[in-house]
Amino acid sequence: MATPTTPQAPLGTQLSIAILGGGIAGLSTALALARQGFQDITIYEAAKGLGEVGAGINITINLARIMERLGCLDYARDRAVALEQYKVLESENDEQLTHVNLDYLQKDFGYPFLVVHRRDLQGAILKGCQSLPDQIKFQLHTALLEVDYTPTPEGKTRFKVKRNVAPPTDPENVKGAADKKAQEEDLDREEVWLEADLVIAADGIRSVARRDMLKKLGEEDHS
């Protein structure tokens, strides 16, 4: 795996970056920023651990190229099925309507058409993030409650989270943690305001960050 490149942005080493949500978008953004040389990235995730939900996902050739660039394609490829062809059938009688041979993808573009379990796609990106622990930190079981989009005098953005007094930081080993009981009983939970130079909303379809942005703009959230 290639090492991160030198920061291209002048603020690369100083900018604190908060990523709200550790799904596919949040993890990919963290990994891409770290590989650009950003040093201070924290992922805030409501769940206690990452990556067990979903079904099959296509890794098309354009995604495969990006994943290779981020250094996380091999993990997914080892767990994927490469499609050789696909057929579209008439549901009434199984008559074949079209047939596409996918050999040309590898030949012309250098990547196969892969199908993986969503867990393994997220796992591949997560592994990439975990390989850069100095740059990317995890704050799990930490739920975003509110974003205040009015910048502080220092130009930072504040956001409020509910978290454990000591939030778990290992996405794969949270269940065995000694604070399991406290987590289950919701003891030792605190609400705190945090801040970062850059806040990236990746908290999914029911985004709290989007809700608050639209509220500030006086618009309705239709999701």
Ligand X SMILES: *[C@@H]1O[C@H](CO)[C@@H](O)[C@H](O)[C@H]1NC(C)=O
Ligand Y SMILES: Cc1cc2nc3c(=O)[nH]c(=O)nc-3n(C[C@H](O)[C@H](O)[C@H](O)COP(=O)(O)OP(=O)(O)OC[C@H]3O[C@@H](n4cnc5c(N)ncnc54)[C@H](O)[C@@H]3O)c2cc1C
Residues 24, 124, 174, 196: which binds ligand Y (CB under 6 A)?
A: 24
Nearer to ligand X, 86 or 193 (CB): 86
In the list ligand X, ligand Y, none, the entry touching 51 (Cβ below 5 to 8 angstroms by class) is: none
Least CB distance to ligand X at residue 102 (A)? 9
Nearest-angstrom CA–CA distance, 171 and 32: 19
As a dihedral over the C-alpha atoms of residue 27, residue 31, residue 36, residue 37, rounded to 10 degrees, the angle is: 110
Least CB distance to ligand X at residue 223 (A)? 21
Q: 197-216: which residues touch ligand Y (CB under 6 A)?
A: 202-204, 208
Q: Can residue 173 be called a binding residue for ligand X (CB under 6 A)?
A: no
The two three-digit tokens of residue 138, written as one number: 């995890």
Q: Which residues contact 103 (CB under 8 A, 6 or more apart)?
A: 84, 85
Number of residues that bind ligand Y (CB under 6 A): 23
Residue 29: name the closest of 125, 140, 123, 116 by CA: 125
Nearer to ligand Y, 56 or 110 (CB): 56
Nearer to ligand Y, 45 or 120 (CB): 45
Q: Can residue 58 be called a binding residue for ligand X (CB under 6 A)?
A: yes
In the list ligand X, ligand Y, none, the entry touching 208 (Cβ below 5 to 8 angstroms by class) is: ligand Y
Nearest-angstrom CA–CA distance, 44 and 202: 10
Least CB distance to ligand Y at residue 72 (A)? 15
Nearer to ligand Y, 156 or 160 (CB): 160
Nearest-angstrom CA–CA distance, 126 and 24: 9
Q: Can residue 103 be called a binding residue for ligand X (CB under 6 A)?
A: no
Give the three-state DSSP class for 216.
Answer: helix
Percent helix, strand and coil across the chain, each to the nearest 5: 25, 30, 45
Residues 21, 71, 112, 168: which binds ligand Y (CB under 6 A)?
A: 21
Residue 171: name the closest of 133, 204, 138, 201 by CA: 138
Q: 42-61: which residues touch ligand Y (CB under 6 A)?
A: 44-47, 53-57
In the list ligand X, ligand Y, none, the entry touching 45 (Cβ below 5 to 8 angstroms by class) is: ligand Y
CB-side exposure of 37: number of CA atoms within 13 Å?
10
Give the three-state DSSP class for 178.
Answer: coil
Write out the residues near ligand X by the rule CB under 6 A.
Answer: 56-58, 86
Write out the residues near ligand Y by the rule CB under 6 A.
Answer: 20-26, 44-47, 53-57, 118, 143-144, 202-204, 208
